[in-house]
Structure 1
Amino acid sequence: MSTTRTMPGGWVDRRKIPRGPNGRGLCRWCSLEVPPRRLTFCSDYCVHEWKLRSQPAYLREQVFLRDKGICARCRIDTVRELRRLRRSRGE
């Protein structure tokens, strides 16, 4: 399982974020001005896209939610197989 990030993530100093023509910070994903009451991203969509590329655990969680534990390649129900394996080990 890969834990390599395709983009650096983490916290950023808001004072160092580039500013738009109205003096507001620019979104870290799409570079539009961040609206009031938001800090470094302009929308939940941009937060989601950023997290997909910077947090491997978030990406795995989203794939699991999408596929419901069914392997796209072999169509095995991985959740059921994990339960079966644990039962066979007495866990």
Structure 2
Amino acid sequence: MNLSTAKTLAGVGMIFKLFGAVPVVGWIFSLVGLILFLIGIYNISQQVGERRIFNYLLIPAVLLLIVSVIFSVSLVASLFAGGLFAGGVT
């Protein structure tokens, strides 16, 4: 993959990230955008010969995914816990 294609792939990934605000299916666009962006940046770092470009971007991306999963699980757990006590204490 040449440098121009890699830059285009990273740009398309960022455009998909913008569609992350779409209700219901936005998270799919956001995830696909992140993956395309990472692939584009990986190819750019390979073309330039500087591996640190990708490594410095990969660590925050992985942390973002981990924090997103933890937040989603805690949100769903709090909704279920709130639903259990919605009837009130008798």
Q: TM-score, with normalisation over the residues of structure 1? A: 0.32
Q: Which structure has more helix as a fraction of its residues?
A: 2
Higher relative contact order (CA 8 A, sep 6+): 2
